[in-house]
């Protein structure tokens, strides 16, 4: 992750990482490592870089998935972050996947996971509310919990520009809950640019990296369309 080298220490309030998952998706970018250990070493490298560039109290979100009858690098990653970095565990969010996968010999997988760590005690938590959770006694929408059942897969609407594109609603929860206007957000794996869109709409600055030029062009187009 050479991009991180260009970033100063303690220069951002939030990092949102949706890294390759290691051999889950049949894409070149998900099959870059010879072994799971190589993959985990690579993950720890950009995780430590994320810690370095975050300000004290900053937040670090990492997407991943557990599932299929295979090893579970994401769970190993979670424990390695606790054991080998100074990040503090804060939350473990589950998002329902509407497009399920897995074999037919057991319950199919219908979830994705989102780990949240902080650099020291976290500074920001702007509560989020949703009608989907129901309403309270006064008829106001209830607090969003760490189980997100209402984020519809992008592909269900046939307008995905990336094979693992996250629903806009998930970015629209992470960005406003965990940063404030004018904050700087680092997006190490831009993909379709969904997090970039949420940054622009919520008036945050962002710096994003993307290996595949096809996606960087598409993500740039997406952000340009909003900015204009």
Ligand X SMILES: C[S@@+](CC[C@H](N)C(=O)[O-])C[C@H]1O[C@@H](n2cnc3c(N)ncnc32)[C@H](O)[C@@H]1O
Catalog residues that contact ligand X under the rule CB under 6 A.
1, 18, 20, 29, 162, 164-166, 189, 191-192, 194, 209-212, 215
* Residue 143 · residue 127 · CB < 8 Å: yes
Q: Which is nearer to ligand X, 68 or 140 (CB)?
A: 68
- Least Å distance between CB 24 and ligand X? 9
The answer to whether 74 and 30 have CB atoms below 8 angstroms apart is no
In angstroms, the CA 215 to CA 176 distance is: 24
Which residue, 182 or 213, has its beta carbon nearer to ligand X? 213
Q: Which residue is nearest to ligand X (CB)?
A: 191
Closer to ligand X by Cβ: residue 49 or 210: 210
> Counting Cβ atoms within 10 Å, is residue 227 exposed (0-12), middle (13-18) or buried (19+)?
exposed
Shortest Cβ distance from residue 139 to ligand X (Å)? 34
Q: What tokens does 126 get?
A: 């702007």
Nearest to 16 by CA among 195, 170, 162: 195
Give me the least distance between CB of 163 and ligand X, in Å please.
Answer: 8
Q: Which is nearer to ligand X, 90 or 169 (CB)?
A: 169
In the block, which residue shows the tokens 């006064």?
A: 138
Nearest to 90 by CA among 60, 132, 127, 129: 60
CB of 26 to ligand X, least distance (A): 13
CB of 129 to ligand X, least distance (A): 24
**Residue 23 or 88: which CB sits closer to ligand X?**
23
- DSSP β-bridge partners for residue 62: 17, 115
Distance CA 102, CA 106 (A): 8
- Going by their DSSP bridges, the two strands 88-101 and 147-148 should be labelled as parallel
The nearest distance, CB 210 to ligand X, in angstroms, is: 5
Nearer to ligand X, 33 or 76 (CB): 33
């Amino acid at each position: 992750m050479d991009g991180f080298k260009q970033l100063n220490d303690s220069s951002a309030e939030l990092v949102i990482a949706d890294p390759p998952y290691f051999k889950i998706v049949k894409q070149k970018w998900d099959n870059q490592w010879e072994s799971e250990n190589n993959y985990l070493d690579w993950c720890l490298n950009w995780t430590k870089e994320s810690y370095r560039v975050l300000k004290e109290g900053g937040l670090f979100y990492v997407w991943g998935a557990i599932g299929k009858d295979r090893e579970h690098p994401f769970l190993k990653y979670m424990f390695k972050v606790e054991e080998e970095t100074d990040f503090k565990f804060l939350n473990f969010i589950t998002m329902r996947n509407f497009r399920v996968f897995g074999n037919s010999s057991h319950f199919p997988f219908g979830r994705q996971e989102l780990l949240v760590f902080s650099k020291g005690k976290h500074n920001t938590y702007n509560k989020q509310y949703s009608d989907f959770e129901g309403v309270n006694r006064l008829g106001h929408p209830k607090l969003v919990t760490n189980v997100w059942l209402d984020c519809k897969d992008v592909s269900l609407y046939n307008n995905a520009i990336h094979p693992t594109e996250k629903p806009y609603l998930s970015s629209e929860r992470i960005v406003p809950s965990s940063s404030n206007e004018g904050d700087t957000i680092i997006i190490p794996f831009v993909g379709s640019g969904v997090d970039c869109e949420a940054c622009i709409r919520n008036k945050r600055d962002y710096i994003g990296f993307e290996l595949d030029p096809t996606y960087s062009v598409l993500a740039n187009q997406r952000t340009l369309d909003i900015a204009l």
